[in-house]
Amino acid sequence: MTTSRFPDCFGGRLPELVMFDLDGTLVDSVPDLTAAVDAMLTEQHCPVAGEEKVRLWVGNGASILVRRALADTDGIEESAVADALHKASLKRFMHHYGRLSGHYSKLYPGVKCALQQLADAGVPMALVTNKPSQFVPHLLTDLGIDGYFDDWLGGDSLPQKKPDPAPLLHLLKKLKANPARSLMVGDSRSDMQAGKAAGVPTLGVTYGYNHGKSIAEETPDWATDNLADFFSSAVKTSGVEV
């Protein structure tokens, strides 16, 4: 579904800050992640996972992704994966993802247009992702969206990451934005939980990687299947000329 009416809580004005998740919200990066996971598993003489499974595992950072892949391979609970195996496998995953990241990733429809609409309207934007920070800059550059964000945080930029609200609160303070007049945009439970815990209204996208569940189950304040449609309505409602 697409929400055509912009949030009433902004009183017809645009947000003071829009914070975006990356993977599953702006970028479909699962093909790259799948290639890295499968390369790691192949080294261990294990069957590859494939994209269908990886789509259900992503969203909580590289460490948990690797743990889920190892648990699936052995048919055990995530908590039962040996720490030594997890540590070694994560190192190999990071190696493969470093050489493969950006090879197959692509922006979702409407993303570039939405970012440009907000930029033209003078709305500050930030990126808050659980992706390891070493992989963020070149991916943004490769996809041509690096110039849109006033700041960004990776999954290892702070001691906490989503669903903890700390990254959002850090950006809100740094960019001097009121939580109640800002917006968190994401595709998953961790995004919605982080937004709510930070006192920030949430916008869920109906595509993405919410572990196979509808984003509606996470009760975002609003939902959309196309960011360009949503923010086009926002700009029109605000009366800002772009």
Task: Provide the annotated active-site residues.
Answer: 21
The closest alpha carbon to 127, from 141, 109, 140, 110, belongs to: 140
Q: Where are the alpha helices (DSSP H) in 20-159?
A: 30-43, 51-57, 62-74, 83-100, 111-120, 136-142
Under 8 Å CB-to-CB from 201, ≥6 apart: which residues? 7, 9, 180, 182, 183, 184, 195, 221, 222
Which string of DSSP letters, residue by residue, matches 162-189? TTSSHHHHHHHHHTT--GGGEEEEESSH
The closest alpha carbon to 108, from 22, 32, 7, belongs to: 22
Question: Running DSSP on this structure, what letter comes out for residue 104?
Answer: S
